[in-house]
Amino acid sequence: MEDHEVATAAGPSGGKVSSLSGLWQVFVGPTAFFERLRKDPKVLVPWVVIGVICFLFFWFNADMFVEFQKQVMAERNPEQAAQIPDIALKISIVGGGLLMMLLGPLLTAALAFFWGNVVFAGKAKFKQILSVTLYAAVVFALGFLVLWPMMAAKHSMAVSLSLAVFAVEQPIQSFTYVALSKIGLFYIWEFVVASIGYAVIYGFPKSKGYLISLLSLGLISILHVLSTLLQP
């Protein structure tokens, strides 16, 4: 049951795995971990870990985000920017960022489940796919912990471990910057881990696991990039 996710579960080779140990096994041995996870998928622990990391990241960097948001708003509507209290922006940024990071894996898993079960005629339970997606998202969330000190040192949001470093002169909300930011260390790492997991859960070749990951994680990234074109 979900309340007992931290309890260990027997693996195929007689070893044991738990939700907590999975937080590091997904980095050092994802294939073996997902083989065990296939029989007893976990969602609570990785979801909580993602939430805690993202909350701390957005909360402790909120002043920087507020400053950036007010600059953007001032360029569009100076009067409106002056009227909005900083605390309101802070709550909106922290709450919105946290909600996006918590609901993102749910949307990704729904897409992966659709492609895997409906289009490619695989057989998997949604909880299995969601579990893989959440543990892959833990890898992505680790990137926040790496970027945090870099942002603090530079006192700027314009730091990246992606090709966006070649577009530092562009606004970080621009099409070019956002598009290049998707080709980054932790985006790619998350993509690879999710691909391995989908292939293991469905019993598909690795190539099909990568395709499902591309059609789910990749599609969401593409939509995010395209959404920048709708900004005024």
Integer Cα distance of 96 and 58 in angstroms: 10
- pLDDT value at residue 232: 63
SS3 state of residue 138: helix
- Whole-angstrom distance between the N-terminal and C-terminal Cα of the chain? 48
CA angle centred on 204, ends 39 and 218, rounded to 5°: 100
- Residue 187's closest CA among 165, 208, 210, 218? 218
Instruction: Give the 3-state DSSP-derived string for 93-126, with helices as H, strands as E and coil as C.
Output: HHHHHHHHHHHHHHHHHHHHHHHHHHHCCCCCCH
Per-run averaged pLDDT (10 residues), the chain, 232 residues: 37 59 92 93 95 95 88 77 83 92 96 98 96 97 93 85 88 90 95 97 96 96 90 68
- pLDDT value at residue 84: 82
Between the CA of residue 131 and those of 84, 106, 157, what are the distances in Å? Answer: 39, 10, 30
Integer Cα distance of 23 and 167 in angstroms: 33
Structurally, how many domains does the chain consist of?
Answer: 1
Q: Please give the residue range of the domain that contains residue 85.
A: 2-230
Q: In this structure, what is the dihedral angle of CA atoms 187, 100, 98, 152, given to the nearest 10 degrees?
A: 40
- pLDDT value at residue 225: 93
